[in-house]
Structure 1
Amino acid sequence: MSKQLIIDFVSEITPQLIESKDGKYKFRGIFQRADVKNGNGRIYPKKVLEKAVAKYQKLIQEGRALGMIEHPPDGKTRLDEAAIKVTSLTMNDKGEVIGEAEVLVGTPKGEILKNLIDNGVKFGISSRGSGTLIKRADGTVVVGEDYEFLAFDVVYDPSTPGAFPETIKESREDKPMELTLETLKKDYPELVEAIKKEAKEELRQEFEERVIEAIEQKVSKIREEVKEELLSDPEIAGAKVAVEGILDILKPFISEGIAGEHLEELKEEIKNLKESLKKKEDEIKHLKEELERKEIALYIEQKLSESPDGDKIREAGILKEAKSKEQVDKLIQEFEESIRKTINEDKEPKGKGVNESRQKLSLSEIHRKLGLPVIGG
């Protein structure tokens, strides 16, 4: 990755004539901003600008911090085209780079700028620097740690399409920069944190999907096992059919008294078989209900984690008797709508968001407004 010429319009300067013995023209303003996406979609990290400002002091001290009227096509500053000289460049706590420059009165381009100022013409200041650019997934471009200021130029209309090329290859310094995880952590912590955040969200979603898939597979497996157990147990799978078949076979013989002596014994066996079958059916029913409760519990936790009122809904206990996902959704929706309605009725002052209003309402107040029982009196 090579260094590039980076040009960014920062602000419009209102020139002021500073009274002095020699009557020099000076102007002051914001020359660059940190941690804010500019019109070109680029962000200058604060520590990057701090290093660039510190390095630029040498040019100021040597009187070589020159700027031109409009950016030179080749990106090079030329003495015969110089119009201003930067005399001060500092950075405040807000991340604003404050610059002060002097018009080079008496030079060809300086005289042009002086006459423009005398005629009330406003102009903008635009930075010209060199460094690497790193593009994030969201399209934002972060300026690299190797960035340095080359000059600050006076410009008229930075919004003209095509007036400033986004990047121009710079031949005097074209060295590759090795990017590793360690260098990214050191030089671009914000970029690394953004990547981590995105990765955590993807992992969370993947984990939830895998948990739900595992539960569904487990439920399906248990159902298959129960079904196989029923089919493999003659007392359960065949009991009902067997009993009905025996009765059908014995009916004619019982009426003729052939099997009369064994009738009571057969009835007792049939009764025991029916009771055994009923017991197994109850166990299966209980198992299914338990599985359904666990599915509902998991769904409740998922919905509470997604709701901004999850903690209040949990404390209110309105979901304890929920029997289905549809009922959970309905109760949560009603609770959230009731909270919003309650908050709106409170007529909060302008400028305060819903989340702040929710935080100010205690759980007992919400219970009273919603007609729910108040815990602890």
Structure 2
Amino acid sequence: MFSKDSARQADACRFCWMCRHICPVAGATGSEAWTPRARGLMISMIERGTEFDKDIAEAMYHCTLCDACANDCVTGYKPSEYTREARMRAVVEDLAPAAVIKMIDTISECGNIFGLSAMGKLFEKAGKLPEKAEVLLFIGQTAEAMRADTGVHAISILKKAGIDFTVLADEPASGAYLGELMGYTGDVQAVAAHTAKMIADTGAKTLVVLNPADAAMFKEQYGAWGLLSGIEIVTATAFIAALIADGKLKVKKAGIAGSLQEPVKLTRALDEIAPFKAIADACGIELTELFLNGKMSRCIGTVPFDMYAPEVAAQMVRVRCEDAVRLGSDLIITASPDDFYIMSKYATDGVKIADIYEILDGLC
């Protein structure tokens, strides 16, 4: 049985078609089985006696938990909640796809979903940092393992602004990816408690978070669990935009044109839109707004989703590139290591993907 709230929401969603047009997975694939309504219908059927099997479990993982559906819902329902609960059941009942179990095991064994770390390379490029500081920069798994250059640029920017900060040499996972794969179980809460202790032990008063997925995890779930109390949690985009506004970073104009791929964890989960645009404006970037922007920003996948369904993630990126081409834009700029990593893999010919931190670092 599902929780009363999940069952109630799923029961309502099974009758409604109003968000299917906004779902990035359904839009990219044309699959009715991968819409929020379909997942609601499946859960409603389980509540009425249908067996929860591997086919239903698979459908629950063809979702990025981006909350485009919730943002569009006039009744305030949030399909990601019952989808996440279904994933928890799928893992507990040994119904989750093998690829999902492999990711969970890799994070548990290695502390990183990619099974590797480039923190040594990052520190080699970034130079020596103090062991303790007022500000702690949290790099995140993707920038740690696959996009170390993004972490290096973020570190360089904070150094240029004269910020007293440090980075954890043995940075643990926030639990964001685990929570996406298996729900907010006791195991995920244990990971969060361990990470919170490591952060608190640095003595930092401000936690600057590079990856929006981690920022949402820290602000939402850690707060709900009573973790990191007394530590200010701020996204890297908001922190750096404030440095620019305060005159601590002097930025030259790039003289380029492009479009922003606004991270959905910033715009929808954290209701943060202005800082990314403020940084782009400071860099002198002439912006062309993409179709579906701000709180309606189109999701291009998450790292776990890309590892589970790469062909779908690739199609979602192609759709976003088509959005840019239709508007005459050939440059898409990201503010998330995850978005930069995924879009760089699948971008179509004629569309370039750039990282706002690299652009800014080169201009200040």
| TM-score normalized by the length of structure 2 | 0.22
Bigger CA radius of gyration: 1
- Give the structure-1-normalised TM-score: 0.21
Structure whose residues are more often strand by fraction: 1
